[in-house]
Amino acid sequence: MKNGRFIVIDGPDGCGKSTQVKLLEQYLRNKGRRVLAVRDPGSTTVSEDIRKILLNPYYREMTPLTELFLYFASRAQLVEQTINPTLKKNNIVISDRFLSSTIVYQGYAGNIGAKKVSDLWRLAAGGFEPKITIILDVPPGKGLARIKRSRSGHDRMEQKALLFHKKVRQGFIRLANSDKNKYKLINGSASIDAVQNQIRKIIDHVL
């Protein structure tokens, strides 16, 4: 990662991260930067197939530990096949979710523990981390309502109980406060343009 820059935008379900990834990608391209946007899990053939299993509501009985290993398998493939080669070309990679999501969803909300998640990630991919992770904060009720307005149906993770989503939000806030150099917390309830402007200021400083 010493040549390129790896940026992550993350947050609770319905926080607007996917929209912000697209806007940031276009912003950086307009500035003449070479950029690749990816989604985690996904963006490789192997990772997309794992994503289908992870988000399929049919697998309601899936445990947090099973989720953890599947997310890490997908992510390790993404890092090896796509992210690292792109960074070595001195390009920018923007990811829609990454390790921060697993620390929060499986570590905090799933009760596995953040340290265990981080320890296993070191084994899976040498502890590979982004240059900066931007976390968009929204209340769970608002985030899930956004999803309902934008498309029909919820995936398996989105269908989890409201209490789980409240733990997710608190987990992201806790993570953001744990290291303010690595994580930047933004109010995701603001307008799309307002959120994007804050993201651009952070990324311009990083770059």
pLDDT recorded at residue 152 = 63
pLDDT at res. 173: 98
Question: How high is the pLDDT of residue 84?
Answer: 95
5 pLDDT more than 50 = yes
Read off the pLDDT band of 1 (50, 70, 90).
Answer: very low
Q: What is the mean pLDDT of residues 15-40?
A: 97
**Average pLDDT for residues 151-163, to the nearest whole number?**
83
Q: Given phi > 0 = left and psi -120 to 50 = alpha, else beta, which region is 42?
A: left
Residue 181 has pLDDT above 90, yes or no: yes
Q: Rounded distance, CA 45 to CA 57, Å?
A: 21
**Would you say 170 and 104 are in contact if contact means Cβ atoms under 8 Å apart?**
no
**What CATH number is attached to the domain comprising 43?**
3.40.50.300
**% of the chain at pLDDT higher than 70:** 98
Which residues form the domain of 153? 5-206
Residue 145's pLDDT band (cuts 50, 70, 90): confident
Which has the closest alpha carbon to 140: 112, 114, 155, 160?
A: 160
Provide the number of structural domains found in the chain: 1
Is 90 exceeded by the pLDDT of residue 77? yes
